[in-house]
Structures are given as structure tokens and as C-alpha cells.
A and B are shown apart, each in its own frame.
Chain A
Amino acid sequence: MTYFKLASASAMVLAATTLSTRANAEDLTLCWAAWDPANALVELSKEFEAESGHTMNFEFVPWPNFADRMLNELNSGGKLCDLLIGDSQWIGGGAENGHYVKLNDFFDAEGISMDDFAPATVYAYSTWPKGTPNYYALPAMGDANGWFYRKDWFEDPEIQAAYKDATGQDLREPQSQKELLQIAQFFQGREIDGKTVYGAAIFTERGSEGITMGVTGALYPWGFKYENTPGSYDMEGAVNSPEAVEALEFYKEFYETATPPGYTNSYMGESLDAFKSGQVAMAMNWFAFFPGLYADPNTGGDKIDFFVNPPQNQPGSTLGGQGISVVSYSDKQDAALEYIKWFAQPEVQAKWWELGGYSAHNSVLEDPGFVDSQPFAGDFLEAMAGVQDFWQEPAYAELLLAMQKRIHDYVVADQGTAQEALDLLIEDWTEVFEDEGKL
């Protein structure tokens, strides 16, 4: 009888526990871009599912359509995403238009401190207005634009000798933007292993953000500034400074003299394809892709190495990466916040880096073994120390598309001069800020 009572009580407790877990278990949907780190996140999130009882669903959209698809979703108050890993530039719009939940109270309640994350990522991915302690996202994926190259070609004695003959210098990882171009021009049209190869794959895409992300890789090292005084929107003399003009002319020269034929509308995918097919000696792309590139059986391993975007007048890299936000239209905000709480834990962040995601948590980045944990880890740290981002204003899409047009018109379509392109860009941006009531 006692056994029977004990068994009944146990069964009831078990049933009650199961029922209560089921009652709280939610189906969460996390939205992000479709790329390598997203697969790592799926793997990582299995632990969250096991711990919390919630089910994770994922909506991954290819990069060229990511902004379009997700911003439409947010603007229409859609409930598709409970959690969104949105681009850094969306933070202003996300905050001002009420798309993202403000996380300050949650962070305070759960003891999540933004001091535990790299300052550059907190500033770029989480805060609005910029630099203020108003948080709308947790830094999820640190990223910057970097470079990778064919190490086996660079180390080939014949190629090294040919480079020395041609330039009088040693072939090495470029230490400046101009050296980068010189190396790319050296490889352009060269015959290697019976195949014609080209200098480098750079970003020239017109439709979304490609050419802007590429050209800023030259503009920032030359000292480009968006405003003379931050927050004043006084762009004359900053956006079209002589340094900016020189950097833009440099990027055009790079496009014209050191890229593969037909490279007129290329972004991340094309850059990866060009490199993996052995077409180019160097390529620019986001650090997020580097683990996959290193693991590539044909062009990875010993054949590849990485370097940070070279400086010119100063160090400077284009910021990528994203923060994770809770969408204010979600009916499952509590469960979504639970995910963020789980994700912010140092041990989860360490596993995130292990799986191929770029943690922005200090416990990972400041770990003594971090620099040697991957061949690109040191470059990543160096890049993140000098990153600069595009406008993060609520009207960022208008600002970005204006830049896409002006830069593509000049660099690829060969229309006008660099000075004219930047002057016109100021006109476009001024119009946007006037419409916004900021000028």
C-alpha cells in the first residue's frame, strides 16, 4: 500500500511537472541572415532547448534580401520573429520606431552588465542614442571586414622573386592600403599553375550594401569622417575631404586594375566563390566567414592566411556584426528574454566562439588563449579595436542607398569624378536629414 501511495504521488508530481513545463514551453523563432554563423547558432541553441524546454525555430534570409525582408517584417508589426539578430545600422530605427524592446530593466534584473562586453560592440550593436546607456540589443556577433589570401602563392619562391623583380620589395602581408593594391596588381592576370589568376575580390554590389561596405574599407584608413563634429550632421569638408577623395579614387583604381573581369556587382558570395575557385590571390570579406574558409578542403588550411584591413593614414576597418534584440510585437517576450539571459552567460559565449560564432564577451576575448585559438583570432581583435560603422540613424536605409548609388556610379559606371560623387552624396544626405528635421 505504501509503495502504491508513493508511486501514485510520484506519478502526480511527474504529471504536474510535465504539464507545467508544457504550459510554459514556447515555440520561439529567431531571425537572422543565412550564413555560416547561423548554422553555428542552431547548434548552440540546442542546449537552450534542452535547458529551458522551449523550442527554437529559425528564419534565415540570404544577405542580399535580409534587410528588405526583415525591415518589412518589423515595419508591418509582424510576429514572425521573437528574436532578431539585426544589423547594427538598424538599431536607431528599431529603437525609435518601437520595433525593439528596451532591455535596461531586464539587464538590471538579471545582472547582465554591458561592461562584460567589448566596448566597441556595445556602442555599435546595443545603444541608441549612440553611446548612451539605453540598450536595445545584446552584442551577439562581433564582426568586421578583413582580408584573406593565398598563403601558398605568397610563399612560392618563384612568385616571391617575380614580385621582388617587379616592385623591389618583399612579398608579404600588406602593411598599407597602397601595398595591398600593389600586390593585387602584381597578381592581376598572372599565370599560376597554368591558370590565369587575378588580384583581389572586393565588394562592388549595387543593390543592398555591398559597395558601401567595401569602399569604407578604404575610406576609414584614409581618415574619412561622416561629420566634422559628431552629432552635428555638418558633413561638408568631412565626407568630401581631400583624404576621402583620394580614398575613393584608390578604390576605383583597385576595381579597375586588380579585380577579375565581370566583377561589377559582387558581394560576400562572389568574393568567397572567387577565392575558393582559385581565381584571386586575395579577397575581402567579413570575419564571420573565416572559420569556414580555413576549413575549406581546397583553399583552406595551409593554403590560406588572414590579415586585418591595412591602415593608410590610420588604422580602420568597416564594422559588421549584430546584436540580438527582442521584437516588441512578439507574444513570447518572456521566453525570448530567457534566451538572451542564457546567451549572455560566459560559458555559452565560450561555446559560441568554439562553434564558429564571434563572441563579443570580454571573458572570451580577454582569455589568454584566445589569440592562438584560431589563425584569424588575433586579426579579429586588432580589427575590432579600429572599427567604424555607417550611419545608424533611423533613416539609415535612405542614407545607405544614396551612398550605394553615388559610389557605384563613380567606381563601376565611371561617371563623374570622386569629388563630384562625394559632393552629390552630401546633397543626398543633407536632403535626408532635412526631411528628418535634423538639419
Chain B
Amino acid sequence: MSDRTIDRVAQATPVRVARKIRGLSDRAIAWIFISPTIFLLLAINIFPLIWTIQLSFTNYKANRIGREVKDVGLRNYERILTDTDTWLNMQATAHFLFWTIFFQVLIGFTLAWLINKKFKGNDLWTTIIVLPMMLSPAVVGNFWKFLYQPQIGLFNYIVSWFTGKEPSSFEMLGSVTLAPWAIVIVDTWMWTPFVMLICLAGLRSIPDYIYEAAEIDRASKLRQFFTITIPMVLPFLMLAVLFRGIENFKMFDLVVQLTGGGPGSVTELTSINLKREAFEKWRTGYASAYAIILFVTVFGLASIYVKALNKVKQR
């Protein structure tokens, strides 16, 4: 804004308002500016959180408005934590979380490293690789459901071609042992490009002169990789892991489309179970307690992780 504009705005401000503003400190003005955001934050995040905590100690059911709401103390928490099914859901979530992150980091970094090499068609390949993450999870879920179909699915035919097994002799989504891996494969297919992009940003941020200096010092390519590339990309990688970790902890749509939590409950992740408790069984109090337990778990793990991330950055 030019000085003239500032002058014009100042002159246009009514004298009374101008006097008031002149009397305000910088801190007060800062508060005026951020107060709408704080209000929104309180209304959208903090209030529901406090309400959820309060509901978690009751037997409240959102579909039974007239029903007497009783204080049940810690009963909901006790029930959840002593329920073997809860731990099976946690186990399924941990399996999904660990292996998706493992494969996405491994493949994502490898792809980024390859794409970072200058070669013909580099941009085209980058575009092709990032396509899956642009699709809707519901579409991906349905699409892979067909691919996994034991009689007509392409996936079974490809596996059959390599292994010589009958295509309909195994069911990716119907088998207790294969279904947890089936959802890992789909999530990895969809989100590896995201990890790749972050890694690519990390790789491209490494100045060339560091490698040139290493070359002068006659450091081997392997040595350069482990002492320059990996340490400098690590903060980016850790960030990608954080994003994917949080996202996959609350994974819902993709898995619901693929397996609906089945067969049995082997792919029933915590978020699917939470949705069932809250909006199908309408056990609002119980579901609130479940949500608080999940929140504390994610918050705790994320805090530890962010501290580690900061340490890596400082190095």
C-alpha cells in the first residue's frame, strides 16, 4: 500500500475510532485479529472435545433422546479396555499401519530416487505415478474389489501367471490370512506417490555442491548415499511417515469399500469399529470413550514422534 493510500485510510477513519485504536497496544490489536480464529477453534474443536469427554462417562444414546442419561463413571473405559475385540481391532490397525508405512516409504523413496535421476520422459513418469493418489478412495476401493475378484479379477490372474496356481483357488478379500494384506496392497498403491513426492522434494533440496565435494574427496556412491542423501532426506521422510501414520490410523473409506471390516473382523480397523458403535449401534457414550482412547493414543504417539523429528532436524 502506498503512503498516499495509508494517509487516505487514516483520514477516512472516524475520529472516535481512530482515537480508540491509537490507545490500543500491539498485543491488543493482535488479539483482535486472532480472536475470530480462536473462537472458531473453540467452537469446532475444543467444545466438541470437552463434550465428548463428558459423554464418555455416561450411557447416552443419541438416538434415544427421551431416555434418562446416567453417569456410569469409568465403566465405558473399563469395558473397552477389557474387551478382547478392542485389542483385535487395535492389532488389525497396527498391522495395517506398520506395513503400509513400511512399503510406502520403501517404494516411495526408491521411486523418488529414480525419478530424481535426469532421464527422458521423467515428467511423464512422475505424472503417471501420482495418478492413484488423485482418485477418490471410494473409487479405488470398488476398482480393487473387482481386481481381487477370484473368478474374473485381474490380480488373481497375474498371481496365477507367476505361480501357476488356479486364479479362483485363493481369495484376497475373503481369506482371513490374505485380507489384511489385500488392504495393505491397495493403500500402498494409492499413497506411495504421496511419499514419493515428499521424498522427491527432499532429494531436490540437497545442493549439488555437497555431492561435488564428496566426489572430490573420492567418496563412493554408496557412501554418498548413506552419508549425504539419507540424512538430508530423513526429515522429509519422517514428515511423510507422520502424515501417513495419522491418516492411516483413521483409515475408513478404502477398507470399508474393500472388505467392510471382514472377513469376520480381521480387517475391522479401530475407525470402522468406532463408526459402528457411534452411528450404527448408537452407543454414543461408549463410542465417546472409544474416541477419547484413540485420541490419546494418536496424540501421545504423534507428540513423541514430533519430538524425534525436531531432534533429527536440529542435527
| Same assembly | yes
Q: List residues of chain A with CB under 8 Å of any chain B CB.
A: 68, 71-72, 74-75, 93, 97-98, 205-207, 260-265, 394, 397-398, 401, 405, 408-410, 412-415, 435
Instruction: Give the one of A71, A97, A262, A413 with max B CB within 10 A.
Output: A262
Contact of A401 with B171 in the complex, beta carbons under 8 Å: no
Contact of A265 with B259 in the complex, beta carbons under 8 Å: yes
Residues of B within 8 A of A397 (CB): 280-282
Compute how far the CA of A142 lies from the CA of B45 in the bound complex, rounded to whole angstroms: 47
Q: A68-B279, A262-B168, A265-B262 are in contact. List 19 more A-B contacts (CB 8 A).
A: A74-B63, A206-B260, A207-B261, A260-B151, A261-B151, A262-B151, A264-B171, A264-B174, A264-B262, A264-B263, A265-B173, A265-B263, A397-B281, A398-B283, A412-B263, A414-B176, A414-B264, A415-B264, A435-B283
Choice from A261, A410, A415 contacting B168 with Cβ under 8 Å = A261
Contact with A along B76-101 (1 / 0, CB 8 A): 00000000010000000000000000
B218: CB under 8 A from chain A? no
Contact of A413 with B266 in the complex, beta carbons under 8 Å: yes
Contact of B276 with A401 in the complex, beta carbons under 8 Å: yes
Choice from A75, A261, A262 contacting B62 with Cβ under 8 Å = A75
CB distance from A296 to the nearest CB of B (A): 21
Residues of B within 8 A of A71 (CB): 63
Output the nearest chain B residue to A211 by Cβ-Cβ distance: B262
Can you give 21 A-B contacts (C-beta < 8 A)? A68-B279, A74-B63, A93-B63, A97-B65, A98-B66, A261-B151, A261-B168, A261-B171, A262-B150, A262-B173, A263-B174, A265-B259, A394-B64, A397-B281, A408-B265, A409-B264, A409-B265, A412-B262, A413-B262, A413-B264, A415-B264
Compute how far the CA of A343 lies from the CA of B176 in the bound complex, rounded to whole angstroms: 48
Compute how far the CA of A207 lies from the CA of B281 in the bound complex, rounded to whole angstroms: 12
CB distance from A39 to the nearest CB of B (A): 25
Compute how far the CA of A261 lies from the CA of B153 in the bound complex, rounded to whole angstroms: 12
CB distance from B281 to the nearest CB of A (A): 4
Residues of B within 8 A of A405 (CB): 85, 264-265
Chain B interface residue count, CB cutoff 8 Å, equals 31
B248: CB under 8 A from chain A? no
Choice from B262, B280, B282 contacting A206 with Cβ under 8 Å = B262
- How many A-B contacts at CB < 8 Å in the complex? 85
Contact of B279 with A72 in the complex, beta carbons under 8 Å: yes
B270: CB under 8 A from chain A? no
Residues of A within 8 A of B65 (CB): 97
Residues of B within 8 A of A260 (CB): 151
Choice from A205, A207, A412 contacting B264 with Cβ under 8 Å = A412
Residues of B within 8 A of A205 (CB): 260
| Given A260-B151, A262-B151, A413-B176: A68 and B280 interface contact (C-beta under 8 Å) | yes
CB distance from B37 to the nearest CB of A (A): 29
| Given A72-B279, A262-B174: A408 and B263 interface contact (C-beta under 8 Å) | yes
CB distance from A309 to the nearest CB of B (A): 25
Residues of A within 8 A of B261 (CB): 206-207
Instruction: Give the one of A71, A97, A264 with max B CB within 10 A.
Output: A264
Residues of A within 8 A of B66 (CB): 97-98
Q: Which 10 A-B pairs have the closest CB atoms?
A: A413-B264, A264-B174, A409-B264, A262-B150, A75-B63, A206-B262, A207-B260, A261-B168, A261-B150, A398-B281
Residues of A within 8 A of B173 (CB): 262, 264-265
CB distance from B267 to the nearest CB of A (A): 10
Residues of A within 8 A of B169 (CB): 261
CB distance from B53 to the nearest CB of A (A): 21
Residues of A within 8 A of B62 (CB): 75
CB distance from B153 to the nearest CB of A (A): 8
Contact of B171 with A75 in the complex, beta carbons under 8 Å: no
Contact of A413 with B263 in the complex, beta carbons under 8 Å: yes
Which chain B residues numbered 20 to 72 have a C-beta less than 8 Å away from chain A? 59, 62-66
Residues of B within 8 A of A409 (CB): 264-265
CB distance from B209 to the nearest CB of A (A): 57
CB distance from A105 to the nearest CB of B (A): 22
Residues of A within 8 A of B188 (CB): none
Compute how far the CA of A207 lies from the CA of B264 in the bound complex, rounded to whole angstroms: 10
Contact of B260 with A97 in the complex, beta carbons under 8 Å: no
CB distance from B73 to the nearest CB of A (A): 15
Instruction: Give the one of B151, B256, B264 with max A CB within 10 A.
Output: B264
